[in-house]
Chain A
């Protein structure tokens, strides 16, 4: 026990001495504010959660039949989905805390101490704690409306379930390789669940209600998640105990990769070859790959706005969301344009490729991903031709104007990116340029739209954006020439920075 505390103390020192604190104060203040804002949002959502569920209509569940428990009964119908989505998100984002014990393995500590340390540490993961920002306010409501025993049954059952998911996921991730196919498969299963629920093939909501209503109807059933938790914990414990050797636990798997020769892109000559290399780069490194995965998720971002009657005819929202749909990748990936290649920047300087071709290949990359997003976004036509017209005009604007702006910001004062780290809660490489980027990329088009809309109405507004995009596209060679000569002037400084980082 004493040793456990000692290790914990050392681990806490690690986070206190993390390089995060050596960054510029302004950036940290901004990050803290962003975090507080997000946390505040979750809290507010939590406070109003019961009001929201009061309003959601569910057949046969109302105050008359069930009294004070009717809100909870509605919520329970969706909890199965909630935990499943939680599992999918975690599978994609939550990290295994394996590396942290390596420095202790050679010390005379009991193995079980180390394993418990590793497992207990995961409780503090934001994936566990953030959801309580929503649910703790709700817990108060539960205690107000139900008898103490019932409320205790439900709240402790819910809390236990969160950690069952936590340890269940960790076990899953430990025993099997993280695989994009599994992730996509889970998404497909989720879609299948929703569809079969929608068409009343299987009533998952009913099953969910049955399971979770039990927690307050018969509070002793909270023992079931408790047993599950113990089981999941022990499974993890056993597995780690058995595999506690450096080579097994350090998950820096030497990825086995097959040779991929030149493909379709070589049609574009050298520029195409460069773009192709960049696609390999994205696919073979964790962080850029997750940027791409997130881009896929954000394709559906428009669903929040286009069908929403609250935003009906609100073109400002349409435009902002359209920027994300086709521009998510270029913004997210492009903000570290040079930083991604920080570890082989000397190669870029020494090889016989002009900076012009270099930037052209980046542009081609943006164009390909953007166009793919545009094509996948065509189903938005379901919400009307005009929506598609907006998405398309903004796509042109993204391609012709935003891509160049992003490339410029991504080349400014770049930081080398550590490629082995995942993308979630990873602030490495974030600097002032990344925050400033939002102003031109999101603010400028909105301004243009406002101007056009003032003169010709909404249609004129987004057509303005489209025209500007085409003009920008026509000037691509010129913009890229500017970027190339800029990089030529800055190259020594950038290369020097990368070598010293």
Chain B
């Protein structure tokens, strides 16, 4: 499933949160999005998932615009933040519900959840805590698992590694790599963590203040290059201090 973003632009007042001419992500690509806070990563993903309306341009998945259509939702798994979780449910109940929307049988669901056993590390299932009472990290696990539950062909994750413990980060990386190799899932992943994202993604796009500034194939040198790039911003300083008014990326 190919994801194409065309002429995408989003302003908040005079502030430009996102302004990307053209970017296509071919089917089966693992696509990493990096940038500082306020660079427009989440804004981009929200436009993609039809959660905010861009001022201009559109995103298509499999040739069809995501705006005003629903078909893409049946094969696109996504998790951006806690807004995606229904806090008053137990994780099992939430999975149940997502599964029923996608017409997954109970036995298939069980098998699926067994597959997440290592990711969950025994902390998610069988407990009596509602999702809203879980820790940030465990909430994230629930959200990611729910996004993967129905074997999506496209996967959109915002900061999947943040708040996770080191072991889970490693497990998640393995999981994502397997998804790409075994099933050819098109993956869009944003991250602050250059280490992880260069490990998982074959292509890295760098955003700065809403603009696409670099688009690179991941190689051995990529991590070093990126580190140098952000170190440069850190010493220059000035440009990064202008934060957007409403588009918090965190």
Do B83 and A347 touch across chains, with their CB atoms under 8 A apart? yes
Known contacts A254-B133, A262-B100, A354-B70, A347 near B84 by CB under 8 Å: yes
In the complex, what distance in Å separates the CA atom of A488 from the CA atom of B68?
A: 8
Within 8 A of A (CB), among B16-68: 49-53, 68
Do B87 and A492 touch across chains, with their CB atoms under 8 A apart? no
User: B183 at interface (Cβ–Cβ under 8 A)?
Assistant: no
User: B171 at interface (Cβ–Cβ under 8 A)?
Assistant: no
Q: Which residues of B contact A499 (CB under 8 A)?
A: 83
With most chain B CB atoms within 10 A of its CB, the pick from A260, A270, A344, A496 is A344
Tell me how many residues of B have a C-beta within 8 Å of chain A: 34
B-contact bits for A285-309, CB 8 A (1 contact / 0 none): 1000000000000000000000000
**Could you say which of A79-87, A96-104, A273-281, A403-411 contacts chain B?**
A273-281
Do A280 and B88 touch across chains, with their CB atoms under 8 A apart? yes
Within 8 A of B (CB), among A387-445: 419
Do A257 and B130 touch across chains, with their CB atoms under 8 A apart? yes
Do B246 and A500 touch across chains, with their CB atoms under 8 A apart? yes
User: B178 at interface (Cβ–Cβ under 8 A)?
Assistant: no
| Shortest beta-carbon distance from A273 to chain B in Å | 5
Q: Is the interface of A mostly helix, strand, loop or mixed?
A: helix
Q: Which residues of B contact A281 (CB under 8 A)?
A: 86, 88
Q: Which residues of A contact B102 (CB under 8 A)?
A: 352
| Shortest beta-carbon distance from A284 to chain B in Å | 4
B-contact bits for A480-501, CB 8 A (1 contact / 0 none): 0000000010001001101110
In the complex, what distance in Å separates the CA atom of A284 from the CA atom of B93?
A: 13
**Could you say which of B73-81, B184-192, B223-231 contacts chain A?**
B73-81
Do B88 and A495 touch across chains, with their CB atoms under 8 A apart? no
Q: Which residues of B contact A347 (CB under 8 A)?
A: 83-86
Q: Which residues of B contact A277 (CB under 8 A)?
A: 86, 89, 93, 97
Do B130 and A284 touch across chains, with their CB atoms under 8 A apart? yes
| Shortest beta-carbon distance from A210 to chain B in Å | 49
Residues of A participating in the B interface, judged by any CB pair closer than 8 Å: 254-262, 270, 273, 277, 280-281, 284-285, 343-347, 349-354, 419, 488, 492, 495-496, 498-500
In the complex, what distance in Å separates the CA atom of A352 from the CA atom of B86?
A: 15
Do A344 and B128 touch across chains, with their CB atoms under 8 A apart? no
In the complex, what distance in Å separates the CA atom of A111 from the CA atom of B45?
A: 50
Do A254 and B129 touch across chains, with their CB atoms under 8 A apart? yes
| Shortest beta-carbon distance from A287 to chain B in Å | 12
Do A259 and B84 touch across chains, with their CB atoms under 8 A apart? no
A259-B93, A347-B83, A350-B78 given; name 20 further pairs at CB < 8 Å. Answer: A254-B129, A255-B133, A256-B128, A257-B129, A257-B130, A259-B90, A259-B92, A262-B96, A273-B97, A277-B86, A284-B130, A343-B82, A343-B87, A350-B49, A351-B98, A351-B101, A492-B52, A495-B52, A496-B52, A498-B83
In the complex, what distance in Å separates the CA atom of A345 from the CA atom of B93?
A: 18
Of A256, A261, A270, A284, which is within 8 A of B88 by CB? A284
Q: Which residues of B contact A261 (CB under 8 A)?
A: 96
Q: Which residues of B contact A257 (CB under 8 A)?
A: 90, 128-130
Q: Which residues of A contact B80 (CB under 8 A)?
A: 346
Ordered by A's residue number, 28 sampled pairs between the chains whose C-beta atoms are within 8 Å are A255-B130, A256-B129, A258-B128, A260-B93, A262-B96, A273-B100, A277-B86, A277-B97, A281-B86, A284-B88, A344-B85, A344-B87, A346-B80, A346-B83, A346-B84, A347-B85, A350-B49, A350-B51, A350-B78, A351-B101, A352-B70, A352-B74, A352-B101, A352-B102, A353-B101, A492-B52, A498-B83, A499-B83
